Amino acid sequence: MGMIIAEHYWGAPTDWSSVGSGAKGYGLLQQLQSCMPRKESTVLVEAARRLIERFARERDVPGGFVQTANDWYLEALSLITARHREAARPILVGISGCQGSGKSTLAELLLALLEEHSGYKAALLALDDFYLGREDRADRARELHRLFATRGVPGTHDTAWMRRSINDLLTGTDEVVTPVFDKSRDDRTGSEHWHHYGASVDVVLLEGWCLGIPAQPEADLRSPCNELEASQDPTGEWRGHVNRFLAADYQPLFDRLDLLLLLQAPNFDAVAQWRFEQEQHLARQQSKRGETTGRALMDEQQIKDFVQYFERLTLHGFEELPKRADLAWQLSPDRTVSGRLGRAS
């Protein structure tokens, strides 16, 4: 019913762009009522909310997600459809946030809202799926620095494959194949599990922890930011390579973004806690699949050690990303949204 209403008033697929941006998603209903009859606007928004409730039931999401999505995340749907209308071509939307911030869940929700509710063709890519396999990272570690054996930072992704996939999706190549990375095994899956896209799309969603973060000035690399850098990279060789990878291989991709959405963590202390919760989620998934093989999942201390690899750029992102994002939400420690940062363009 919602699609029929939307087609009548806005054309198909649903054009949320005439809704505009409010302080909260609950303002969406009032904004819709300004451009279409009250009854029909109520039905359209309620259909979106029912989709959000079903989405939450079907996934292991944190408590409070439904309220947060209704209050805040529906605004992103308006922004995406507005930009697609303005561009009159397929668009690339980045979703950035540190580990465990909920960016993957937000991306999956936006995919469902775009496809199931608004009639758009969309594809969702994850930066993490383009991690180099263990052997390739070992090669890079031998060539450049031993810390590249651990996945995470710029320089541990197959950026050529990622850029090619995004370009082919945006230009309508017949078939696009993208890899899948299994974090429980710390390696790429077999090709039988890879994603296949067989048609052109309206929107490509790309989610990743470092999307939009610019390279640091060389002067900022001189001093280590944590124990890992002080003990394993005292001369700054590794962080210098990471910074150069970020500038040369990642920034050209960031420059292609038509929109950047940001989930801003309250502080870096939250990252370790969220990453530990993420690891527990992986354990539950393994248990559901009845898996007994693969690497042992990390304990709390291992998580604290692991997130040090991400600390430098995460802190840099805290400063830079709110200025660069088109829509940024400030998160509380429980991952609920406490407010919006900056502009909503």
Please state the domain extents for the chain.
82-341
Compute the distance between CA of residue 49 and CA of residue 156 in angstroms, rounded to an integer: 38
pLDDT of 286 strictly over 80: no
186 exposure class (CB count in 10 Å sphere: 0-12, 13-18, 19+)? middle
Which tens digit of pLDDT belongs to each residue from 102-129?
A: 999 999 999 999 998 888 999 999 999 9
For the chain, give the percent of residues with pLDDT over 70: 81
Of 190, 134, 180, 183, the closest CA to residue 294 belongs to 183
pLDDT of 86 strictly over 90: yes
Which tens digit of pLDDT belongs to each residue from 208-217?
A: 999 999 999 9
Neighbours of 323 (CB within 10 A): 11
Select the more confidently predicted residue: 25 or 325.
Answer: 325
Does the domain at residues 82-341 carry the CATH identifier 3.40.50.300? Answer: yes
User: Can you give the pTM of this predicted structure?
Assistant: 0.87
